[in-house]
Amino acid sequence: MGTRAVEQKDSRRDAVLDRLKWRYAAKAYDKSKKVSAEDLEILEEAMLLAPSGFGLQPYKVFVIEDPEIREKLKPAAYNQPPITDASHVLVFAYKKTVTDSDIDIFVERHVEVRGQTRESLAGLETAVKAAMRNSVESGQIETWSSRQPYIALGFLLETAAMLGIDATPMEGFDPEKVNEVLGLTDHSAVVIAALGYRDHENDWLAKLPKVRKPKSDLIEHI
């Protein structure tokens, strides 16, 4: 590898790691700063592109800007300031069950996007329906479904960091109360993310270095 290629590789590496080192779960947001519509569109596309089991995407993401709704959500999230102070609040809600009708929609989407025939997808349809029925009958469907939004959350956090946007993942809330505020029945809130720009002067965490395990304690090569 030539010197220039090595330099470019090192530059890309440093650029990516610098952004990931820059990000943290902001505790205080600058109320005056808003995420632009253009950047929000990029973040939404990133979540859309996240992988999921079978590609089913058994969840919804609610992007909440309405101040009144956010005021109602705040007590359900133990009055954490980002709920009302951040530019946007996203609620990730998993689908409580997956039915044959959901799989039919999934297969039809393949037909629409890839131009395949329904007949050619019979094997896929049979396999996915069998897997989902087994998960429902074994009582594992909510465990499986509730894990899927976290992959989209990961895509959101990384993409936000690349764009210089702060994002705070939050599990500290009462799901039933959040469901009630949003009128959710078929879905249930599992994780929340606040988006915006840190209030550097008033966020106690902003000036502190990251604390992580030594790499050797976390990653093991076998």
What span, in angstroms and rounded, lies between the C-alpha atoms of 31 and 81?
10
Q: Shortest CA distance to 60 belongs to which of 44, 82, 84? A: 44
Give helix 122-137 / helix 100-114 axis angle, nearest 10°: 150
Digit-coded pLDDT (tens) for 195-209: 999 999 999 999 999
Fold annotation for 41-199: NADH Oxidase (3.40.109)
Cross-strand bridge partners of residue 196: 166
Digit-coded pLDDT (tens) for 137-186: 999 999 999 999 999 999 999 999 999 999 999 999 999 999 999 999 99
Contact assessment for residue 157 and residue 149, using Cβ atoms and an 8 Å cutoff: no
Digit-coded pLDDT (tens) for 10-53: 788 999 999 999 999 999 999 999 999 999 999 999 999 999 99
What span, in angstroms and rounded, lies between the C-alpha atoms of 153 and 145?
14
The b/e string for 184-221 (b: 16+ C-beta within 10 A; e otherwise) is: beebbbbbbbbbbbbbeeebeeeeeeeeeeeeeeeeee
Indicate the pTM of the whole model.
0.94
What span, in angstroms and rounded, lies between the C-alpha atoms of 183 and 43?
24
Q: Which residues are CB-neighbours of 70 under 8 A, at least 6 positions away?
A: 64, 83, 84, 89
Give helix 3-22 / helix 141-163 axis angle, nearest 10°: 110
Look at residue 6 and tell me whether its pLDDT is greater than 80: no
Q: Structural domain boundaries of the chain?
A: 41-199
Work out the percent of the chain whose per-residue pLDDT is above 90.
94
* Length of the chain measured in residues: 222
Look at residue 96 and tell me whether its pLDDT is greater than 70: yes
- Predicted local confidence at residue 10, as pLDDT: 76
